[in-house]
A = this chain, B = another copy of it.
């Protein structure tokens, strides 16, 4: 039984790029972490160490910086598209380029002063494939939301290992990780991103939740209804359990006021919400 090379890719991960655009005294700041992965006819370097088709990852890094200066960084999606198209167009051996970008947010404090906002990280993942074409996936991670009430969990399966009581009033907390695929490679990216994020937040806030699954679906559905340019959205929601503390040993009641926030284990709810057609 022969052994052979299967799917493979390579690239430079986590190139840190900060750009300043100076428009008179008022500066604009962009802060990105850029990762590149290239695939194509790369068998030779794996099998014999012949690097004749390998564009070094160091060169990929240089390209990120040079393109930032030569073309500017209008946004992570456009910058990712430009980079991915460049690698596929300029390298005969490369048939597929994936550029993944994290955009770190800063809020303005003055004409040249900024504070890292720390709310969430915006994501863009662009794939340019000679055969399959262009896909753009946007997303976010680290958006931490909490409802102190309006969350129930009842009517679930009980088996020999079930000890959890039903509850009609619990804390529901999660750190949203979301990726949404655009139907086309063009959009008003900034506007779309802000609207999707706000739709996710609004659905979390508005939903009276009987399960985190229900909240997840409501969030995904809201995003798709709000923005027709989205083809689908994947959500990964950890259930960050907040356990009610038993204060009875100390002669105290605890009417949903004092909780332990736990790290591990946590529930993890994952689903894709899809637009038909």
Q: Taking beta carbons and an 8 Å cutoff, which residues of A are in contact with B?
A: 1-22, 27, 29, 31, 35, 37, 42, 45-59, 61-63, 65-66, 68-70, 90-91, 106, 109-110, 112-120, 142-150, 152-164, 171, 201, 204-205, 209-211, 213-214, 216-217, 220-221, 224-225, 232, 234, 238-239, 242, 245, 247, 249-250, 252-277
The answer to whether A213 and B45 touch across the interface, beta carbons within 8 angstroms, is yes
Contact of A159 among B55, B144, B268 (CB under 8 A): B55
Tell me whether A267 and B11 are in contact in the complex, defined as CB-CB below 8 angstroms, given that A1-B275, A145-B114, A201-B109 are known contacts. Answer: yes
The answer to whether A13 and B65 touch across the interface, beta carbons within 8 angstroms, is no
A31's nearest neighbour on chain B, judged by CB, is B261
A270's nearest neighbour on chain B, judged by CB, is B9
Contact of A46 among B63, B117, B214 (CB under 8 A): B214
Tell me whether A16 and B146 are in contact in the complex, defined as CB-CB below 8 angstroms, given that A51-B153, A51-B156 are known contacts. Answer: no
A160's nearest neighbour on chain B, judged by CB, is B250
Q: How far is the CB of A112 from chain B (nearest CB, A)?
A: 4
The answer to whether B147 and A113 touch across the interface, beta carbons within 8 angstroms, is yes
Q: How far is the CB of A193 from chain B (nearest CB, A)?
A: 16
The answer to whether B46 and A271 touch across the interface, beta carbons within 8 angstroms, is yes
The answer to whether A90 and B159 touch across the interface, beta carbons within 8 angstroms, is yes
The answer to whether B46 and A10 touch across the interface, beta carbons within 8 angstroms, is no
In the bound complex, residues from chain B placing their C-beta under 8 Å from that of A117 are 118-119
A253 to B20, CA, bound (A): 14
Provide 9 A-B residue pairs closer than 8 Å at the C-beta atoms, listed in order of the A residue.
A3-B274, A16-B262, A18-B242, A48-B210, A52-B156, A58-B164, A59-B164, A66-B252, A115-B201
Q: How far is the CB of A199 from chain B (nearest CB, A)?
A: 13
Q: How far is the CB of A101 from chain B (nearest CB, A)?
A: 13
The answer to whether A62 and B224 touch across the interface, beta carbons within 8 angstroms, is no
A118's nearest neighbour on chain B, judged by CB, is B118
In the bound complex, residues from chain B placing their C-beta under 8 Å from that of A27 are 148-149
* Besides A51-B154, A62-B161, 8 other A-B contacts (C-beta < 8 A): A3-B274, A17-B259, A21-B257, A46-B214, A47-B217, A51-B210, A113-B145, A116-B119
Tell me whether A211 and B250 are in contact in the complex, defined as CB-CB below 8 angstroms, given that A1-B277, A57-B267 are known contacts. Answer: no
In the bound complex, residues from chain B placing their C-beta under 8 Å from that of A146 are 29, 106, 113-116
In the bound complex, residues from chain B placing their C-beta under 8 Å from that of A116 are 119, 144-146
Contact of A265 among B16, B18, B213 (CB under 8 A): B16
The answer to whether B56 and A156 touch across the interface, beta carbons within 8 angstroms, is yes
In the bound complex, residues from chain B placing their C-beta under 8 Å from that of A57 are 239, 265, 267-268
A180 to B150, CA, bound (A): 40
